[in-house]
Structure formats: C-alpha cells, structure tokens
A and B are shown apart, each in its own frame.
Chain A
Amino acid sequence: MKIKTLPIFTFIVFLIIFFVFYKGLQNSNIYVPKTEIEKDIPLFNARIFGTDNQINSEDIFINGKFYLVNIWASWCVPCRAEHSFLLDLNNQKNLEIIGLNYKDKKENADKFLNELKNPYTFIILDKDGTIAIEWGAYGVPESFLIYDKKIIKKITGPIDKDSFLKIKERIR
C-alpha cells in the first residue's frame, strides 16, 4: 500500500506544476502603467518648437476645453501610422492638439511635418526626455487627453482606429 501512494502523490504534484506553468506562462508579463486614472497635468517649463519662447504648462491648458498632448519624434516609425488620425482629430472644433517633440533634431522634425502636414496647434520641445517623464510616458508615441487640467485618458503607443473613435466619443 505504501509503495503505491508515492507514485500517485508525485504524479499529482507534477500535474499541479504543469497546470500552474501552462496557465502562468501564457500571461503576458509586460507591465503597462494604468491608463484610466484621472491625474493632474504635470508642471513644467518648455521651449516652443521653432521659437525661443518658454511656456509654462499652467498657461497651456484652459478649463472647459479638450486637449490632446501627443508625444512624437521624426525617427519614430509608429508616429507615421497615427499621423492620419491626428490630422482627422484636428478638424474637431473643441479639441486642440499639442505636440511634444521627443529627443529630435529640428531639421528632421521640420521634414516630417512638411511631408505629413502639421496637425499641432503648437509644439513643445523635449530635448532630453525629462518632460515626457513628467507626463509619465516611457516611449513614443504616447497621447494624453486632457480636460479641466486633468488627464482623462492616456493612450500608450500609436493611436489606432479604436482609440481614435474613443477619443471622438469622449470629446463630443
């Protein structure tokens, strides 16, 4: 009797281990910061693209209006994919799109905008990536929908059809 319990016990233990791994290894363990939390806009000073003027984040956003802050760079390939959506969103009356040019060269950024058109009301510069960190971003592209000085929606990665429609619904 004692000889029989050991193999059965071993078998059950292996079965449990097998199922734990079978389930566990299928989960993606890539962490993405939470996107649906309302947060205050960060405070920062930044230079406006193409000028020497500094602007404070407090002066950019006015209450009662929607803003979309879009982090982009000319070297970022997914930014090209989302650009058509940004141009489309630019036609919305109650939405202003503000660009955040991330670790980019001015001539390349100019070329990018000339080629694909400029959807931004204005663009702020982030030469060393520190302003993107204030926003809680960790890559390009990333977009933030803002209302009443609060981030109401965050899109990590390029804007696609799905998030485009969600933004449109939100600002209606």
Chain B
Amino acid sequence: MILIKYTLIFFLITNLNLVNAQDKNLQNKITKNLRCLVCQGQSVFDSDSEFANSLKIIVKQKLDDGKNEKEIYDFMKKKYGEWILYDTEFNKNTYFLWLLPILMFLIGGAIILKLFIIKKN
C-alpha cells in the first residue's frame, strides 16, 4: 500500500514537472523570437529591460489563457508591427528576401553549367 502511494506521488511530481517544463520551453521559444524594442538587436528573452520583463509576463499570461504561439505573435504584430518578430513572414514585402538565395543559387548554377559546357565544346 505504501509502495503504491509513493509511486503515485512520484509519478504525479514528475508529470507535473513535465507539463511545466513544456510551457516554459514554449515561452522561451516565443520570447526568443520577439525583438526587444528598447535595446534593439537583443531578443526579449535575453533582455532585462523594463519593456522586455513586461513582455515576458504578457507571454506567460497568454499561454496560461490557452493562447497558442501564432495568436501571441498576431497580438504582438498588432501592437508593435511586424518588426517585433525576428522570424520574418513570407508576404509581398519579403518575397525578394526569401527568394534571393534560391535565385542566386540558380543563377550561379547556370553560370557554372554554361562555363562547363563551353569548355567541353
């Protein structure tokens, strides 16, 4: 009987920790993707400014309310503009930014291929 009791307590504690840890991980992930507007260049996660500390509280509150990651980002975007997110979204302003590496890769490949073929001929 005692054994069952202790194993139950053991499982309860370890599982609670797990739930908490997952929440904390998501919270860290989100705050790492948010730019601190006071000390620009630092993420909210890294920063200890008044603004960043308040943002951390907000993110935690929203997670506790059951909001998901995207809803939190949408909230931040509404309040501060898209610039607050480090991970740039794919929209008409950022087509060029996202497609430039692929474009350069293709052009570079074309040049190499052309040189190669010309040399062979």
Nearest chain B CB to A150's CB is how many angstroms away? 15
Q: How far is the CA of A128 from the CA of B83 in the complex (A)?
A: 24
Contact of A31 among B40, B53, B58 (CB under 8 A): B40
Chain B contacts for A129, CB-based, 8 A: 50-51, 53-54, 57
Q: Residue A138 at the B interface, CB < 8 A?
A: yes
What residues on B are CB-neighbors of A138 within 8 Å? 37-38, 51, 80
Q: Known: A130-B61, A138-B37, A138-B38. Contact between A31 and B54, CB under 8 A?
A: no
Whether A133 contacts B55 in the complex (CB less than 8 A), given A31-B37, A138-B37, A138-B38, comes out as: yes
B57 and A34 within 8 A (CB): no
Q: Looking at chain A, what size class is its interface with the partner chain?
A: 10 to 19
Whether the pair A139, B51 counts as a contact (CB closer than 8 A) is yes
A-B contact count (CB 8 A): 41
* B120 on interface, CB distance cutoff 8 Å: no
- Is there a chain A Cβ closer than 8 Å to B101's Cβ? no
The distance from the CB of B118 to the nearest CB of chain A, in whole angstroms, is: 17
A24 in the interface, Cβ–Cβ < 8 Å?
no
Tally of contact residues, B, Cβ under 8 A: 15
Are B58 and A133 closer than 8 Å at their CB atoms?
yes
A36 to B51, CA, bound (A): 22
Tell which of A30, A34, A138 has the most Cβ of chain B within 10 Å. Answer: A138
Asked if A7 is at the interface (CB within 8 A of a chain B CB), the reply is: no
Minimum CB–CB distance for B93 against chain A, Å: 14
- For residue B55, which residues in chain A have a CB less than 8 angstroms away from its CB? 133
Within 8 A of B (CB), among A91-119: 103
Residue among A30, A33, A130 making CB contact with B54, cutoff 8 Å: A130
Query: Does A132 have its Cβ within 8 Å of any Cβ on chain B?
Result: yes
Residue of A nearest to B79 (CB): A136
A-B contact pairs, 15 of them (CB 8 A): A30-B40, A33-B37, A33-B80, A33-B83, A103-B50, A129-B51, A129-B54, A129-B57, A130-B61, A132-B54, A133-B54, A133-B55, A138-B38, A139-B38, A139-B51
Interface residues of B (CB under 8 A from A): 37-38, 40, 50-51, 53-55, 57-58, 61, 79-81, 83
Interface residues of A (CB under 8 A from B): 29-31, 33-34, 103, 128-130, 132-134, 136, 138-139
